[in-house]
Amino acid sequence: MPISRRSIVGGAIAASGLLAAPAIAQGAPLKIGLMLPFSGTFAALGESIASAFEMHVKELGGKMGGRVVELIRVDDESDPAKAPANVNGLIGRSKVEALVGTVHSGVVMALVQAAREAEMPLIIPNAGNVAATRDLCAPSIFRSSFSNWQPAYGMGKALAAKGVKKAAWVTWDYAAGKESGDGFGDGLRSGGAELTKVLTVPFPETNFQPLLAQLPGLGVEAVGSFFAGGGAIQFVKDYAAAGLRDKLPLCGSGFLTEGVLKPQGAAAEGLQTALHYGDGIDNPKNLAFRAAFKTHANRDADVYAVQGYDAAQMLGIGLAATKGDATAIKDFAAAIRNAKIDSPRGAFTISASHNPVQTIWLREAKNGENRVIGTAAAALADPGTGCKMT
Amino acid sequence: MGGFLVQILNGLQYGLLLFLISSGLTLIFGVMGVINLAHGSLYMIGAYLTYVVAGATGEFWLALPAAVIGGLVLGAVLERILFQRFRHRDHLDQVLLTFALILLFEEARAALIDNQFHAVQVPPVLDFSVPVMGGFAYSAYRLVVLAICLAVAACMVAFVERTRLGASIRAAAENPEMVDLLGIDARLIHTLVFAAGTALAMLAGALAAPLQSVYPGMGDGFLILSFIVVVIGGLGSIAGAFWAALLVGLIDTLGKVYVPQLAGIAVCGLMALVLLWRPTGLFSRA
C-alpha cells in the first residue's frame, strides 16, 4: 500500500508569469487546487490534464480575473478513501479558492461534496459520473469533459442510423459501465433500435471468456462496450481472438480505444467508437492547441489534455466576470453558462445542469489513430435528470 | 448446446490455471503447515517477470524458463531465510509474516516497474484462432496453455505418487518426525517443496500474462480462489487440488454465465457444501 505521497508544488506558474511581466501588486494570489492522480493507474491522465491547465494559465499571462494564479497540486492516487482528507487539506490548510479535479469517479464525489458545502467553484476535468451534473448538481460545479451517458448515446445513435436493430452492451459491473449502458440504450432507441441484453463482469476482472462465449447466442447484430485502460486492451484482443469481429461488429464508448491502440494492435483495426474528441479534427483551434501542447509538454495532446485546457478556459471565463472573486458564485456561474467555450474539440456551450453540450464524434481506429469519420450526435446535452439548482 | 460446451471448455481452462497456482499452495500447506498469503503475489511476480523478459528480449518463450528458475531460487531463499523459522510458530504469526510479504512485494513492484496496467503480447507463432463451436473461436495460445497445464499436472501427480522423493514428500506431509527418524533430510524436503510451489505459482503467472494482462494486485482474486481449492481438495493433496481446481473453475464460469447475480458466492457456497459433507476436503487422507 503506497504511503500517502502528497506532493504540493505551488508557484511554478505564478513565477513564470511574473518573469514574463514585472510584478504589479495585485493583492493575494488566487490559489487553485489541482486534485488529480499523479501516481497509479491514472497518472498519465492526471499529468495531461494538469499540463494543459497550466498551459492555458500561461496563455492568460499567469492571471485569472486580474489575480496572479498559484496552482497547488495534490496527488489523489485515485483512492476514494483518501479523497475527503485530500480535499479538506486543500481547503483548510492550503486555503484554495477554487478546485479542479479529478479523473476517478469515486474520488470526485468528495470534491463535489466539498464544493457544494463550501459553495466553491469546482471544474471536473474528467470523471463522467452522471450524478455530478444530475442529482448532485450545484451552481458552483461545472464539468469540462463529458457525462458517461454522452459518448455511449452517440454510439447507440450512430449504430441505429446504420440500420442495426438489436444490440448488446458489455461492460464492467460498476457505475461508469452502467451509466454508459443507459446512454447506449437511449441512443439506440432514438433511432428505432433496441438494447436487448446487458452483460457484465466484476470490476476490474479481465477473464472475459465466459462473457464472450455468450455473445453468438444472443441474436444481436452488434455489440457495444465500455472498458478503459488495461481492461480495454485485453477485451479488444480477446474479442478478436474469439473470432467474433466478423460476425458481430464491436463498437463502444471512445475509451475502448483511447490511448491503448498500440498494445491492441491489429485487434483494434477498423473498430468504431464515439467520443467528444478524436484524431483529425482540423479546425484552426485544434491545430493551434496541438502544436502549443507539444511545445509545452513535449508530447502529443490527448482527450485528457483537451479537458484540462477547457477546464482552465471555463474557470478563467467565470473568474474574469467576477474580477477574481471566487465567492461571487452567481455571476461566476452566469458567465460560464452564457459563454461559448472555444475548445479544440469544437466550440461547445454549457447545459442548464453545467455539463458540456457538445458534438460526439464517430471515430474509426486506423494505423494507431482514432480518426474522426463523422458525427455520431450533434450538440448533445446530458438529460440532467434530477438536477435542481438552488 | 454449442454455447454450453464452450463454457465448459472455458471453465476447464480457467480451472487448470487455478490448479497450477493452488498445487503449490497445497503442497506448502500440507508439507510445511505454513499458510502462505503471499502466494498470490508470487503469481503476480511471475506475470511481471514475463512482461519484463518478453519486453526486453522480444521472445515470450524465454519468460517461461525464467519464471521457473526464478521461482525455484526465490522460493529456496524465502524458505531458508524466513519460512523455516516460522514453521513451528502459530498460524497468526505466519499470517502476519506473509501479509507483510504481500506489502513488500507490492511496493517492490511499484518501485521497480510501475503501477500501470500492461498488456503482454501473445507469441507471434500462436497469434491465430481455432474455431471451436457455437460460432466461437479459441486463440491457439489459450489451447497451448491448456495443454501445458495438463502436462504439468500429469508430471506432478507422477512425481509425487511414483517416485522415491515424491514418497518422502508425502511422508513429510503426514509425519515429519518419523521422516527425520528414518534419516531423510526433512529440511531439504521443505526447501524443495517451497521452491517448487513458488516456481509453479510464477509459471502460472507467466502463462496467464498474455491472457489476463499484468496489473497491480492481479494475484489477489486468485489467492482467495486458491485457498478455496486447497480447502475443497484437502490439505496437501495434489490430486485433490487438481479435481477441486477443475470444479471451482467450472462452477465459477458457469455461475457467471447462468446465474450472474450469484457469481460472487457460487464458489463459496460450493466450499460450504463440501465442508459440511467432508470436513477435511474431498481427497484428504485423514
Q: Tell me the CATH number at A68.
A: 3.40.50.2300
| CB atoms B136 and A216 under 8 Å | yes
Compute the radius of gyration of chain B from its Cα atoms. 19
Per residue in B128-178, pLDDT tens? 888 887 678 888 999 999 999 999 999 998 998 899 988 888 888 777 778
* The total number of structural domains that make up chain A: 2
* Among candidate residues B171, B214, B274, B230, the one with its CA nearest the CA of residue B43: B214
Residues A245 and A298 in one domain: no
Report d(CA B186, CA A37) in Å as an integer: 50
Per-residue model confidence (pLDDT) at position A263 = 84
Nearest to B3 among A40, A217, A230 (CB): A217
Residue A342 and residue A220 in one domain: no
CB contact burial A36-68 (16+ within 10 A = b; e otherwise): bbbbbbbbbbbbbbbbbbbbbbbebebbbbebb
Q: Are residues A237 and A367 in the same domain?
A: yes
pLDDT band at B286 (very low <50, low <70, confident <90, very high): low
pLDDT (tens digit per residue) in B168-205:
888 887 777 788 788 888 888 899 999 999 999 999 99
Whole-angstrom distance, CA of residue A183 vs CA of residue B276: 46
Phi then psi for residue A281, to 5 deg, are: -80, 105
Whether A96 is covered by a domain: the verdict is yes
User: Residue B273 contacts by C-beta under 8 Å, 6 or more apart in sequence?
Assistant: none
Q: Is the residue at A7 inside a domain?
A: no
Q: Residue A345: what are its φ and ψ, rounded to 5°?
A: -75, -10
* Nearest residue of chain B to residue A242 (CA atoms): B137
Q: Which of A256-260, B13-17, B174-178, B217-221 has the lowest mean pLDDT?
A: B174-178
A200, three cell numbers: 457484465
Q: How crowded is residue B6: how many other Cβ atoms within 10 Å of its Cβ?
A: 26
Beta-carbon separation of A230 and B118 below 8 A: yes
Show residues of chain B in contact with A212, CB under 8 Å.
Answer: 136
CA distance A291 to A282: 12
Give the per-residue pLDDT at A180: 96
Q: Which pLDDT value is given to residue B98?
A: 94
Shortest CA distance to A152 belongs to which of A252, A223, A232? A252
Taking CA atoms, A101 is separated from A12, A72, A216, A232, in Å, by 19, 12, 41, 23
> Are residues A287 and A165 located together in one domain of the fold?
no
Contact B139 A212 (CB under 8 A): no
Domain that holds residue A71: 12-146+282-354
User: Is residue A2 assigned to a domain?
Assistant: no
Q: Is residue A342 part of a domain?
A: yes
- Please, what's the largest Cα pairwise distance for chain B? 61
Domain identity same for A224 and A251: yes
Distance (Å, whole) CA A353 – CA A149: 14
Name the grid cell of A55. Answer: 498551459
**Contact assignment for B117 to A229 by CB distance below 8 Å:** yes
Fold topology of B2-277: ABC transporter involved in vitamin B12 uptake, BtuC (1.10.3470)
Residues A214 and A100 in one domain: no
**How many Å apart are CA B284 and CA B232, to the nearest integer?**
9
Kindly tell me if the per-residue pLDDT of B52 is higher than 90.
yes
Residues A266, A321 within the same domain: no
Helix (H, G, I), strand (E, B) or coil at B130: strand
Q: What is the average per-residue pLDDT within B55-81?
A: 95
Q: Report percent pLDDT > 70 for chain A.
A: 93
If you average pLDDT over residues B106-123, what whole number do you get?
87
- Cell of residue B64, nine digits: 517461461
Our CA-based measurement puts residue B94 at a distance from the nearest CA of chain A, in whole angstroms, of 20
pLDDT band at B1 (very low <50, low <70, confident <90, very high): low
d(CA A171, CA A148) in angstroms, rounded, equals: 13
* Closest CA–CA distance from residue A241 to any residue of chain B (Å): 5
Q: In this structure, what are the phi and psi dihedrals at residue B157, rounded to the nearest 5 degrees?
A: -60, -45
Radius of gyration for chain A, computed over Cα atoms and rounded to the nearest angstrom? 21
Cis peptide before A204 (omega within 30 of 0): yes
Q: What pLDDT sits at residue A2? A: 43
Q: SS3 of B271, please?
A: helix
Residue B96 has pLDDT above 80, yes or no: yes
Q: Inter-chain contact B142–A206, Cβ cutoff 8 Å?
A: no
Q: Using the structure block, give the residue that is written with the C-alpha cell 436493430.
A: A165
Which residues 247-286 of chain B have a CB within 8 Å of chain A? 253-254, 256-257, 260, 263-264
Does residue A131 share a domain with residue A79? yes
Which of A173, A206, A256 is the best residue to mutate to test the B interface, defined by the most B CB atoms within 10 Å of its own CB? Answer: A206
> In 3-state terms, what secondary structure has residue B80?
helix
Residue A170 belongs to a domain: yes
pLDDT at B284: 74
pLDDT at A235: 94
Q: pLDDT by residue (tens digit) across B262-275?
A: 877 888 899 999 99
* Residue A372 and residue A229 in one domain: yes
Largest CA distance in chain A: 71
Residues A77 and A204 in one domain: no
Q: Quick check: B14 contacting A, CB < 8 Å?
A: yes
* Cα–Cα nearest to A200, from A214, A184, A211, A188: A211
* Residue ranges of chain A whose pLDDT lies below 50: 1-26
3-state secondary structure of B158: helix
**A-chain residues near B212 (CB < 8 A):** 206-207, 234
Return the residue in B115, B250, B261 with the most chain A beta carbons within 10 A, the one to mutate for interface testing: B115
Please state whether the predicted TM-score (pTM) of the whole model is above 0.80. yes
3-class SS string, chain A: CCCCCCCCCCCHHHHHHHHHCCCCCCCCCEEEEEEECCCCCCHHHHHHHHHHHHHHHHHCCCEECCEEEEEEEEECCCCHHHHHHHHHHHHHHCCCCEEECCCCHHHHHHHHHHHHHHCCCEEECCCCCHHHHCCCCCCCEEECCCCCHHHHHHHHHHHHHCCCCEEEEEEECCHHHHHHHHHHHHHHHHCCCEEEEEEEECCCCCCCHHHHCCHHHHCCCEEEEECCHHHHHHHHHHHHHCCCCCCCCEEEEHHHCCCCHHHHHHHHCCCEEEECCCECCCCHHHHHHHHHHHHHHCCCCCHHHHHHHHHHHHHHHHHHHCCCCCCCHHHHHHHHHHCCECCCCCCEEECCCCCEEEEEEEEEEECCEEEEEEEEEEEECCCCCCCCCC
The answer to whether B123 faces chain A, any CB pair under 8 Å, is no
* A284 at interface of B, judged by CB pairs closer than 8 A: no
In percent, how much of chain A has pLDDT > 90?
80
Identify whether residues A271 and A199 lie together within a single domain.
yes
Same domain, A132 and A159: no
- Whether A206 contacts chain B with CB within 8 A: yes
